[in-house]
């Protein structure tokens, strides 16, 4: 648990919310919730109490609930995005799940995110108002992980990734760095993975991806190179869809900082979209990433390439959150794909996919020849 950063006003960064268009290009400030709801059980955990203390010190209103059920959740998007709840993760919520192709297992330190991306993938996966839930029982969450060593379906099948050991993804339902100044959970997880004895000496890796850049508190942690920090990056033209998140140069500067601190690093290029001038834009992105890593001894760089897609459900939620969005979510411009669970998602037509894949893979090969592409999807 580290010291709190210099205090911005409660509700800061949330005001970056683009109701109908481009994000304001002003410096990003750490997000501070206006209201923090905390359950009695959550306050019983030292980690939960510390989160509440930090939020209060930054000016958030603390609401101590009388029971462990979350009540008084806001209806509006704006109010929900400035609300954080500190709760205890139930046994079912803290049970890790397989999460191919990113990692062997997913586990959650929190759910929800303070940014306002108009394509946010959480819209299709989290139900209810988009508040942030952060979990107080971190020791119980981390204790679920060591028994899964050697049981993954991703790294064991991919010889190029086998050396990483069993991999655990912490950013499926949140951007953990975006709330780290409040939670300290990421630092705790990084230290946990850094202790090889926690996993009986077996290889294991913590992974997370982020659009945020506040990496300073992570640089001196004893990570043991058992954490891979990936930065979610995109063409500059996509930044207009990413309210409340630091701009691309800040993310690339953070990439360099953590790579120099010895972390394994990665780029999550997502969501890839055929925006105007997309070839030149993605080429410039990969060139800038190469410049950011220049002179870094051994970044062990990986690249994940993820194209934009939407489901009928995620489109409805996103259009409710961002009614004026210019993000293309037009079925007429897409092809239907059925997921392995039988649901529908809309992806780009094959010729577009082929062109984008060739261009991106070629760009990685030219600008980042030492990088490993983990997957294209
Ligand atoms: Fe969603 Fe990621 Fe953007 Fe947060 S940073 S709003 S999780 S897409």
The residue to which tokens 């300073």 are assigned: 216
Asked whether 113 and 175 are in contact (CB, 8 A), the reply is yes
pLDDT at 15: 37
* Predicted TM-score of the model (pTM): 0.92
Q: Please name the residue whose Cα sits nearest to atom 1 of ligand 1.
A: 120
CA 48/CA 254 separation, integer angstroms: 28
Handedness of CA 314, 319, 321, 326 (dihedral sign): positive
Candidates 113, 114, 233, 234: which one to mutate for ligand 1, based on the most atoms within 8 Å of Cβ? Answer: 113
Percent of the chain having pLDDT more than 70?
A: 92
For residue 117, report the distance from its CA to the centre of ligand 1, in Å. 5
pLDDT: which is higher, 206 or 71: 206
Q: What is the pLDDT of residues 35-47, one digit of tens each?
A: 999 999 999 999 9
pLDDT: which is higher, 26 or 144: 144
Q: What is the pLDDT of residues 314-343, one digit of tens each?
A: 999 999 999 999 999 999 999 999 988 889
> Is residue 12 predicted with pLDDT exceeding 90?
no
pLDDT at 266: 98
Q: What is the pLDDT of residues 337-360, one digit of tens each?
A: 998 888 999 999 999 999 999 999
pLDDT at 10: 52
Q: Where are the alpha helices (DSSP H) in the chain?
A: 40-43, 46-57, 77-80, 138-143, 180-183, 185-194, 248-260, 278-292, 312-321, 350-367
Both tokens of 258, joined, read 């953590």
pLDDT at 13: 45
For residue 83, report the distance from its CA to the centre of ligand 1, in Å. 16
ipTM attached to this prediction:
0.99
Q: What is the pLDDT of residues 258-295, one digit of tens each?
A: 999 999 999 999 999 999 999 999 999 999 999 999 99
Q: What is the pLDDT of residues 21-34, one digit of tens each?
A: 334 344 568 899 99
pLDDT category of residue 16 using cuts at 50, 70 and 90: very low
Instruction: Give the nearest ligand 1 atom to 113 CA.
Output: 4
Q: What is the pLDDT of residues 149-169, one digit of tens each?
A: 999 888 877 888 888 999 999
Q: What is the dihedral of CA 198, 201, 205, 206, to 10 degrees?
A: 10
Measured CA to CA in angstroms, residue 281 lies from 35, 161, 306 at distances of: 39, 29, 16
Both tokens of 124, joined, read 């299709």
For residue 232, report the distance from its CA to the centre of ligand 1, in Å. 9
For 190-225, give one letter per residue: b (16+ CB within 10 A) or e.
Answer: bbbbbeeebbeeebbbbbbbbbbbbbebbeebebee
Query: Rg for the chain (alpha carbons), in Å?
Result: 20
Point out which residues pair with 265 in neighbouring strands.
Answer: 229
> Is residue 100 predicted with pLDDT exceeding 70?
yes
pLDDT at 21: 39
Both tokens of 154, joined, read 């991703």
Measured CA to CA in angstroms, residue 220 lies from 20, 187, 258 at distances of: 40, 10, 10
For residue 196, report the distance from its CA to the centre of ligand 1, in Å. 31
Candidates 116, 124, 175: which one to mutate for ligand 1, based on the most atoms within 8 Å of Cβ? Answer: 175
> Is residue 233 predicted with pLDDT exceeding 80?
yes
CA 377/CA 365 separation, integer angstroms: 18
Q: What is the pLDDT of residues 64-83, one digit of tens each?
A: 999 999 988 998 999 999 99
Ligand 1 first shell, C-beta below 6 A:
113, 115, 117, 120-122, 175, 211, 245
CA 269/CA 285 separation, integer angstroms: 9
């Amino acid at each position: 648990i580290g010291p709190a950063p210099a205090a911005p006003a409660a509700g800061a960064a949330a005001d970056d919310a683009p109701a109908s268009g481009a994000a304001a290009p002003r410096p990003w400030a750490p997000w501070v919730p206006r209201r923090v709801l905390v359950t009695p059980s959550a306050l019983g955990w030292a980690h939960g109490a510390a989160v509440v203390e930090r939020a209060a010190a930054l000016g958030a209103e603390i609401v101590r609930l009388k029971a462990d059920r979350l009540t008084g959740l806001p209806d509006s998007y704006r109010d929900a995005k400035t609300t954080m709840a500190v709760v205890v993760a139930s046994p079912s919520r803290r049970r890790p799940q397989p999460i191919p192709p990113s990692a062997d297992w997913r586990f959650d330190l929190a759910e929800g995110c303070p940014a306002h991306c108009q394509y946010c993938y959480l819209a299709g996966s989290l139900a209810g108002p988009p508040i942030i839930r952060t979990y107080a029982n971190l020791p119980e969450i981390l204790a679920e992980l060591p028994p899964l060593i050697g049981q993954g379906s991703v790294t064991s099948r991919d010889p190029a990734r086998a050396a990483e050991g069993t991999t655990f993804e912490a950013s499926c339902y949140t951007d953990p760095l975006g709330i780290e100044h409040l939670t300290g959970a990421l630092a705790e997880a990084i230290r946990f993975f850094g202790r090889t004895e926690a996993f009986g000496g077996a290889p294991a890796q913590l992974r997370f991806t982020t659009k945020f850049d506040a990496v300073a508190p992570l640089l001196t942690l004893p990570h043991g190179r058992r954490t891979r920090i990936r930065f979610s990056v995109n063409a500059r033209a996509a930044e207009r869809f990413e309210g409340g998140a630091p701009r691309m140069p800040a993310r690339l500067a953070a990439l360099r900082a953590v790579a120099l601190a010895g972390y394994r690093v990665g780029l999550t290029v997502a969501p890839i979209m055929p925006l105007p001038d997309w070839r030149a834009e993605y080429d410039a992105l990969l060139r800038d990433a190469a410049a950011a890593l220049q002179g870094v001894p051994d970044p062990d760089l990986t690249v994940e390439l993820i194209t934009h897609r939407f489901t009928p459900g995620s489109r409805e939620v996103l259009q409710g959150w961002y009614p004026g969005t210019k993000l293309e979510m037009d079925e007429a411009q897409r092809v239907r794909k059925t997921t392995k669970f039988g649901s529908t998602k809309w992806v780009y037509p094959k010729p577009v996919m082929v062109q984008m894949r060739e261009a991106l893979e070629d760009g990685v090969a030219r600008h980042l020849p030492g990088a490993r592409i983990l997957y294209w999807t």
